[in-house]
Structure 1
Amino acid sequence: MPVLTRLIPSPVVVDISRGALDDLAGLLADQRISSSGKLAVAISGGSGRTLRERLSPVLPGADWYEVADGTIDSAVTLADAIKGQRYDAVVALGGGKIIDVTKYAAARVGLPMVSVATNLAHDGICSPVATLDNDNGRGSYGVPTPIAMVIDLDVVREAPPRFIRSGIGDTVSNLSAIADWELSHEINGEPVDGLAAAMARTAGEAVLRHPGGVGDDAFLTVLAEALVLTGIAMSISGDTRPSSGACHEISHAFDLLHPQRAASHGEQVGLGAAFAMHLRGATEASGLIAEVLRRHELPVLPTEIGFTVDEFVEAVNYAPQTRPGRFTILEHLDLTPDQIRDAYADYAKTIRS
């Protein structure tokens, strides 16, 4: 008998709404994630303290742990601290660094992890990947998908708008990543998971074509849903293929070559996506991505994030080395630095026209 369905790793509950934090304890109890309220809650030393003051009365059984930074050392330290304490779950309350550290720590001690995102900067809020700094720079570690996903739109609004804009760039870059995945399938026969691709593409298109902005609840809801869908798409495919292609290779190159000057992840991958779409001859798609990035005050040229054209050419040339074995438009074209420079000049001219 054929297998008619498959199980999809995803959160048992996703709550994206205004005031979602106020009912966090009830949500965890209702979903049987933590009936006792015995929780380990990881927070930052900054904004996390304010949220702790707000939530402590409604989470009386929680123990609170401050996370120093987004390193693997911090993740191991957190895991050691919560090990053997008989918690029902580990809650990450914060941005991407806190969530990634907590995902890794929870996986290390075998506890379910609840993701409570306080900003919408990137798709790691609900992904099966923890991106952590280490002695060699930065590494990506496979972890279980969060068991629950909570996003309070009121809290998200309090974060600086640049975090929302970063999430926009990260989600829109899905479209370039999917195009790279399909190119690898066409050239190399790499399998494409159609469901994962459909979810990631839908997420990118939803944000790309929504008329709202960073101050609009309807737009923030769509962006939050898109980031969650992208994370689930990665869980389905078992890797980052649905959301990471040439766009992310270029961003990783900026991070490695200029670690003290790199812009936000979303700014870099958004720019990388627009350029990568131009490289593949998808001028209309490249122009649309650039237009939407501009509308949301995101960069479309490297000079807008403090990099010269020479530095951009260097980053694009170096980019394939950041993900050995991954095939994108960059590996396919295998351009020389002079060819990259010419392609960039044409890209810059095209999006300005």
Structure 2
Amino acid sequence: MPLLARTVNTPLVIEVRRGAVADLGPLLADRRISAGGDVAVVVGPGQGERIVELIRPTLGSADVFTVAGGTLDAALELGDKLHARSYDAVVGIGGGKTIDTAKYAATRYAIPMVTVATSLANDGIASPVASLDHEGRRGSYGVHIPIAIVVDLDFVENGPDRQTQAGIGDAVSNINAVADWELAHVARAEPIDGLAVTLARTGAEALVNHPGKITDDGFLTALAEALILGGISMSVCGSSRPASGSCHEISHAIDTLYPGTGSHGEQVGLGALFCTFLRGDPERFGQLATCLHRHGLATTPADLGLTVEQFAEAVTYAPRTRPDRYTILEHLALTPTAIRERLADYADALRDHLS
């Protein structure tokens, strides 16, 4: 009887702990990523000097590059510098912009990428996508999944709470994205990848039900693992489907109509909560509302500084941001008047649940 299986690209190493940056040299050597430390270390402008001081004792042969901005131009410039010498790996240390810049440059010249995350604001730490600004717009570019992912909880703990809150919103929104994918599978026979669904939903479920706070190592570990699983789920199916649904359409619409409103994670968290309400799942709606509220994330448009009318306009515009994607918004095809009515019902349901 033949055995059928598939090969899935995943990182060789996943470590979530304190002190990871200082121990980077031994980790790369132990995992045979770089025995001699011949790596390109990419850092952002904020904590660059402190990071360099920590890694120098164990990575003396490394070249250090500082990048800023998270732009396509910065990534191309970095790639040109990497091409000047042979490196065992590119090590991106920092937040989302630094890591995405490093991922793109490493992919451009086929160099293995190591992510060392110092914040947990989004699933970019593990995803096969780099979000970079170019000519006034943000684009998503396909990249190789990191060969290793390390999260240093010392840096995460000392970073702004808002970054961690954004990561929570991004991670739990996967529950909504998966529900949208399942809806498309039923309504339009869109193929669905069960392994990708399992990875994305498992991490998000663990986070929604975790009793800890953002100051607890256990909770931060669960958040890191949820973001990593979300990123790997995209690599598994070759699409952002398991981590991007109607919630992301709403966030993209807010970015287009009202740029600078909130972080990506805050916006997709609110979008996921509203779309879960539209889906008519009161139990799931209550779980998400409790989670977002407990961790200080937006649950109403006003929490993001938007009026109900502005949020309704964003929901109306949202399907235009991803015309190829079928979600609860496309399924219901609500008129602007119907959206405003549902928002009023949403506000009542949220008030009843949180009171």
Aligned-partner Cα distance in 2 for 1:131–1:332 = 28
Aligned-partner Cα distance in 2 for 1:25–1:246 = 41
Shift of 1:288: 1.7
Give the residue type in structure 2 aligned to 1:255. Answer: D
Segment drifting more, 248-257 vs 175-184: 248-257
> Are the equivalent residues in 1 in contact too, given 2:21–2:51 (CA < 8 A)?
no
Q: What are the Cα deviations for residues 304-344 of structure 1, in whole angstroms up to 9, with x where unaligned? A: 11111111011111111111200000111111111111111
Give the residue type in structure 2 aligned to 1:12. Answer: L
> Aligned residue for 1:82?
82
Give the residue type in structure 2 aligned to 1:264. Answer: S
> Are the equivalent residues in 2 in contact too, given 1:118–1:152 (CA < 8 A)?
yes
Aligned-partner Cα distance in 1 for 2:48–2:262 = 23
Question: Which stretches in structure 1 are left out of the alignment for 5+ residues?
Answer: none
> Aligned residue for 1:290?
289
Shift of 1:3: 5.0
> Aligned residue for 1:214?
214
> Are the equivalent residues in 1 in contact too, given 2:67–2:98 (CA < 8 A)?
yes
- Taking the TM superposition and a 5 Å limit, the aligned residue runs for 1:318-337 are 318-337=317-336
> Aligned residue for 1:199?
199
Shift of 1:49: 2.3
Aligned-partner Cα distance in 1 for 2:283–2:55 = 48
Helix, strand or coil at the partner of 1:91: strand
Aligned-partner Cα distance in 2 for 1:338–1:71 = 39
Shift of 1:239: 0.8
Q: What are the Cα deviations for residues 240-267 of structure 1, in whole angstroms up to 9, with x where unaligned? A: 11110000110111111122x3201111
- Taking the TM superposition and a 5 Å limit, the aligned residue runs for 1:1-353 are 2-135=2-135, 137-259=137-259, 261-353=260-352
Segment drifting more, 42-51 vs 204-213: 42-51
Aligned-partner Cα distance in 2 for 1:136–1:37 = 37
Q: What are the Cα deviations for residues 208-241 of structure 1, in whole angstroms up to 9, with x where unaligned? A: 0000010001111111111111111110010111
> Are the equivalent residues in 2 in contact too, given 1:274–1:287 (CA < 8 A)?
no
Q: What are the Cα deviations for residues 262-295 of structure 1, in whole angstroms up to 9, with x where unaligned? A: 2011111110000001111112211221111000
Cα distance, 1:332–1:74 mapped onto 2, change above 3 Å? same
Helix, strand or coil at the partner of 2:138: strand
Aligned-partner Cα distance in 2 for 1:53–1:160 = 22
Give the residue type in structure 2 aligned to 1:229. Answer: L
Helix, strand or coil at the partner of 1:225: helix
Aligned-partner Cα distance in 2 for 1:342–1:35 = 62
> Are the equivalent residues in 1 in contact too, given 2:104–2:130 (CA < 8 A)?
yes
Percent of aligned pairs with the same amino acid: 55
Shift of 1:136: 5.4
What is the TM-score with the length of structure 2 in the denominator? Answer: 0.97
Shift of 1:2: 4.3
> Are the equivalent residues in 1 in contact too, given 2:121–2:167 (CA < 8 A)?
yes
What count of residue pairs does the alignment treat as equivalent? 352
Aligned-partner Cα distance in 1 for 2:121–2:319 = 24
Helix, strand or coil at the partner of 1:133: strand
Aligned-partner Cα distance in 1 for 2:45–2:255 = 25
Shift of 1:57: 2.6
Shift of 1:59: 1.3
Give the residue type in structure 2 aligned to 1:5. Answer: A
Aligned-partner Cα distance in 2 for 1:21–1:50 = 10
Give the residue type in structure 2 aligned to 1:161. Answer: D
Aligned-partner Cα distance in 2 for 1:333–1:192 = 21
Aligned-partner Cα distance in 2 for 1:333–1:300 = 22
Q: What are the Cα deviations for residues 157-186 of structure 1, in whole angstroms up to 9, with x where unaligned? A: 111111111111111101100000000000
Question: Which stretches in structure 2 are left out of the alignment for 5+ residues?
Answer: none
Shift of 1:25: 0.5
Aligned Cα root-mean-square deviation (Å):
1.1
Aligned-partner Cα distance in 2 for 1:189–1:24 = 46
Helix, strand or coil at the partner of 1:21: coil
Aligned-partner Cα distance in 1 for 2:113–2:189 = 36
> Are the equivalent residues in 2 in contact too, given 1:137–1:256 (CA < 8 A)?
no
Aligned-partner Cα distance in 1 for 2:46–2:18 = 22
